[in-house]
Amino acid sequence: MQEKIIRSLPGIATLILLLLAMLLCGWLFVDAANRGDVAAIITASLLFSVLALCLIGFYMVEPNQAAVLTLFGKYVGTDKVQGLRFNNPFYSKRKVSLRVRNFESGKLKVNELDGSPVEIAAVVVWRVVDSAEAMFNVDDYESFVHIQSEAAIRSLATQYPYDQHEDGQISLRSHPLEISEYLKQQLDERLNTAGVDVIEARISHLAYAPEIAQVMLQRQQANAIVAARRRIVDGAVGMVDMALADLKAKGIVDLDEERQAQMVSNLLVVLCSDHATQPVINTGSIYQ
């Protein structure tokens, strides 16, 4: 069901005219009573009753709010004009907020792509853009938004790994923008039928489940140590290669393959060691 805009009368002007008409009916009733005119009394009473019934047709529309009007269960239209409005007194009026709203889901435990249990939560910013769909397509659109959001978050967690294991791989922790965009698309597809537009969706909490958190922390530390060692070794090899090239280019010393291998070994030990090395001074020949 699509939203349909309906026209309404300005409330203040209509209220003033209605009150004046009721005063006129009251004056006619008193005049007819003084004259003893029964027909005029009945007519004035009926007119006054009809005008009093019209007072039910007034309703208030606040900023960023819509009034959904129905007649005996049939959708008539939506009024979004702010202020005091007047329409058919037999219309039923239900208010729908069009303001931007947000909520944070609870921490959900779900297995990520690699099968490791993680805790994940997200913040969803949304608003109603079609009041008719929000009121009539779902039973309770606010509850619908919350339930579908949690379902989308669970689905998201199973599509990606927690950590990036390969270059270019998208993971929950390393690509927040891509993950947020994917989550927003999933929510838009799920909530479109309820007339809801998702403005923003992003992960607010992400962690391994407590039962494996310590093990995963040790794995992350091990990966960091291996990466650091790899960088140190790469740098040391480059420095050794540069040192041998400079010695040969400048003709400072001419080393055979065995002495070059020994020099490479000593330099790598010095450059890659965790602690400061103790130098040993050779006062004799390097060939002794």
DSSP labels, 187-225: HHHHHGGGTEEEEEEEEEEEEE-HHHHHHHHHHHHHHHH
Grade residue 57 by pLDDT with cuts at 50, 70 and 90. very high
Provide the percentage of residues in the chain whose pLDDT is more than 90: 45
Q: Range with the lowest mean pLDDT among 98-112, 243-257, 267-281? A: 267-281
Give mean pLDDT, residues 197-222.
76
CB count in 10 Å sphere of residue 241: 12
186 CB-contact burial (10 Å; exposed 0-12 / middle 13-18 / buried 19+): buried
pLDDT at residue 214 greater than cutoff 90: no
Instruction: Please answer whether residues 141 and 135 qualify as being in contact, where contact means their C-beta atoms are separated by less than 8 angstroms.
Output: yes
Grade residue 3 by pLDDT with cuts at 50, 70 and 90. confident
Encode pLDDT of 98-114 as tens digits: 999 999 988 888 888 88
Give mean pLDDT, residues 239-260.
70
E-strand stretches of the chain: 9-10, 58-61, 65-71, 74-79, 83-86, 92-97, 101-104, 108-111, 117-128, 196-208
The upper half-sphere exposure of residue 67, i.e. CA atoms within 13 Å in the direction of its Cβ, equals: 23
Residue 65 has a pLDDT of 94
Residue 29 has a pLDDT of 85
